[in-house]
Structure 1
Amino acid sequence: MGEFTLRQLEYFVAVLEHGSLTEAAKQSNISQAGASMAIAQLEKSLGMDLLIRTRSKKVAPTAAGQELGTRARRILAEAAELPAALNDGRDQMRGRVAIGCMTAISPRIIPQLLGRISRRWPDIRLEFVEGPAEELQHAVADGTLDLALVYSLQAVADVDLLVLTESRPHFMLAATHPLAARDSLRFADLAQEDVILLDVPPSAERVISMFRAAGVEPRVRWRSVVAETIRGIVASGQACSVTHVWPGMVPNYLGANIRLVPITDETPPNRLVAAVAPGVRRPRRVEEVIATAKDLASAAGPGDG
């Protein structure tokens, strides 16, 4: 069976309702030749005659035409209701929302986000995957994910960015480190310190470039893809690290044995953002998840995570 269009079905139903190609064409605002061609293409696609032409230029449906008329009216009615049905579904606070989250960001916001969404909208099924920023954003662009939480410094070209909050790099030190009590530090202050970096591209490269921009070659002793490993090594005093901090980070996220100290050297502006597909109208449930993430990240909402 070949392909046919809704427009062809509309013309066919118009012919049945008006009893002639001439009147159907007039009511459909097309030429009689156009209407006749559309019906002929429909018959060819279905491989059967649908109309009986009479000498009076009236037409009557064949048995197949009568059956098609019944089904075509149902199809056209459902097609007409489709936009409203989709809009209703878009406004409903239920269904799946798929989030991507950078490994470095995930433990700082995902637990809170899951908790708040489940309390406010229990019918939203929030799912998340963790991974490198570039990979997650490509998944957003191709529709696999609804959004991805990444840093703006790691954004790719084929997504739009919705800013959640500002983020600044801090040194991560053991609470017992001699420099941990300082109000701020420069990269030069850690020139002789061993460093452990998050080895998820391009995180490590970004940190190394910040050291070098300040005229310091970092003593990178270790790399790890597991944030908990980095925190454990820092807390034990074996190395320091660099991490991004935003206003809504849970105060006790790093534990009592770690201190975060602001960096006074000039560093590239950075933001925590939600990467979304460009030119796509997002369902309300996705918009609410993004708004909730913004509240949590900026400390604009209650800390109920």
Structure 2
Amino acid sequence: MTFTLKQIRYFVAVAETGSITEAGRRLHISQPSVSAAIAELEDRFKVDLFIRHHAQGLSLTPAGARLFKDARSLLDHAEELRQGAVGLGQSLEGELHVGCFQTFAPIVMPRVIRAFAAAHPAIVITLHEHHVQGVVDGLAAGQFELALTYDLNLTEDLAFEPLVAMPLHAVLARNHRLAREKELSLEQLTHYPMVLLNLPQSRDYFLSLFSSRGLRPRIAQETPSFETLRGLVASGDGFAVMHSRPASQQTLDGRPVVYRPVKDKIRPQSLGLLRLMRIRPTRRSEAFAAVARAELRQNPA
């Protein structure tokens, strides 16, 4: 036995007005549409809901009167559900899940979240840190509404808004032989061992920068951790290449590193906002995007 809220709404309107014609006027629909809905309900429920009075309208049968009470309650609950569903998308309170590429999450997210909390204290941010592919997978799985990440290997079903251009830098120990140079080429770097960020897509991306120029770096260490990478660079004579550049040039164990621009013609990675194109953004996610936009463009990572 199936029925629709539209049919129940028509039934309630007829019960309240006592007239098919008046119910149609109230609902702004045709009289035949109302009559068809009532007839279908009676057929589905196997009971007469109204007594038809010639030229005097309709009145509820005992069964119709019982149904009327429940039908009104059902419509009230449906309206509560509608308002709640609207709130899911339009309310500026509640919880917002945000994804972020893990290498620059500690660089940009604390200040973005701090600025967002000041602007929208009724919204609680839940942060999800992933590698590049993990960010895309998390969006597809509905784990979060939007993310801050790089424009790396994006597919057509994703909408990306670039915010900050992140040029490539070499990371070196302060006492490295190349640290005195103002800028470096990838060819210069290949004379020294490399510490490679080993994350899905990131690893292949960094190696492709060398291979596309006929270069083959000598990989000494690999790590999925941005801070471990910097620590390994600081404690040896190797190098790393990164787009993310934190404000501090000191590793977690207190050793200094330096950053030098790579002078090869390499397109900067864009740090920006990513979402699924087919999903309409909520007011909460739009509010977060506005804060991230203002914060990062004013003070790039």
TM-score, shorter chain, exceeding 0.5 = yes
Equivalence for 2:172 = 173
Aligned position for 1:236: 235
Deviates more, 1:162-171 or 1:108-117: 108-117
Does residue 211 (structure 1) correspond to residue 207 (structure 2)? The answer is no
**Which residue of 251, 254, 257 maps to 2:247?**
251
Question: Could you tell me how far apart the structure 2 residues matched to 1:49 and 1:234 are?
Answer: 83
The range that moved more, 97-106 or 170-179, is 97-106
Q: 1:53 aligns to what? A: 52
Q: CA separation of 1:117/1:27 partners in 2, compared to 1, >3 Å: closer, same or farther?
A: closer
* Cα deviation, residue 68, structure 1: 3.4
Distance in 2, Cα, partners of 1:241 & 1:121: 38
- Deviation, 1:84, is 6.5
C-alpha spacing 1:63/1:130, structure 2 compared with 1 (3 Å): same
Alpha carbons 1:93, 1:284 under 8 Å: kept: yes
Query: Partner residue of 2:13?
Result: 14
Contact 1:143 1:277 in 2 (8 A): no
TM-superposition CA deviations, 1:213-262 (whole Å, max 9, x none) = 233111122211111211110111242111104xxx54116546111111
1:175–1:129 distance in 2 versus 1, CA, 3 Å: same
Q: Which moved more, 1:84-93 or 1:124-133?
A: 84-93
TM-score, scaled to structure 1: 0.84
| 1:26–1:81 Cα change, 3 Å | same
**Is the counterpart of residue 282 in structure 1 residue 281 in structure 2?**
yes
Evaluate the alpha carbon distance shift between residue 48 and residue 239 of structure 1 in structure 2; reply closer, same or farther with a 3 A threshold: farther
- Between the aligned partners of 2:196 and 2:250, the Cα distance in structure 1 is 15
* 1:144 corresponding residue in structure 2: 143
The C-alpha deviation readout for 1:175-211, integer Å capped at 9, x for no partner, is 1111112221110111211111111110011111111
CA distance in 1 between counterparts of 2:204 and 2:197 reads 9
Aligned to 1:39: 38
Map 1:92-131; keep pairs closer than 5 Å: 92-131=91-130
Which whole-Å CA distance do the structure 2 matches of 1:289 and 1:27 have between them? 42
Contact 1:172 1:234 in 2 (8 A): yes
Q: Which residue of 2 aligns with 1:193?
A: 192
- What is the count of residue pairs matched by the alignment? 298
Check the 8 A contact 1:105/1:149 in 2, yes or no.
no
> Do the aligned partners of 1:167 and 1:272 also contact (CA within 8 Å) in 2?
yes
C-alpha displacement of 1:265: 0.7
Over residues 76-129 of structure 1, what are the superposed CA-to-partner deviations in whole Å (9 max), with x where a residue is unaligned?
Answer: 466568767665665543211111112222222223233333344333211112
Q: Which amino acid in 2 is paired with 1:6? A: L
The Cα offsets for residues 10-49 of structure 1, whole Å up to 9 and x where unpaired, read as 3212322342335544665555443332112223444543
Check 1:92–1:55 CA distance in 2 against 1; reply closer, same or farther (3 A cut).
closer
- The answer to whether the Cα contact below 8 Å between 2:197 and 2:222 also exists between their aligned partners in 1 is yes
**Do the aligned residues in 1 keep the contact of 2:98 with 2:125 (CA within 8 Å)?**
yes
For the aligned residue pairs, the C-alpha RMSD in angstroms reads 2.9
Contact map agreement 2:193 2:237 (CA 8 A) in 1: yes
SS in 2 for 1:110: helix
Counterpart for residue 159 of structure 1: 158
* In structure 1, distance between residues paired with 2:45 and 2:267: 63
Letter in 2 for 1:4: F
- Distance in 2 between residues matched to 1:144 and 1:62, nearest whole Å: 50
Following the alignment from structure 1 to structure 2, what is the Cα–Cα distance between the partners of residues 135 and 220? 25
The gaps in structure 1 that reach 5 residues or longer are none
Which segment drifts farther, 67-76 or 206-215? 67-76
Greater Cα offset, 166-175 or 111-120: 111-120
TM-score under structure 2 normalisation?
Answer: 0.85
In the alignment, the residues of structure 1 paired with residue 115 and residue 105 of structure 2 have an alpha-carbon distance, to the nearest angstrom, of: 15
Separation in structure 1 between the aligned mates of residue 283 and residue 29 of structure 2, nearest angstrom: 40
Q: Is the 8 A contact 1:13 1:72 kept in 2?
A: yes
| Higher alpha-carbon deviation: 292-301 or 164-173 | 292-301
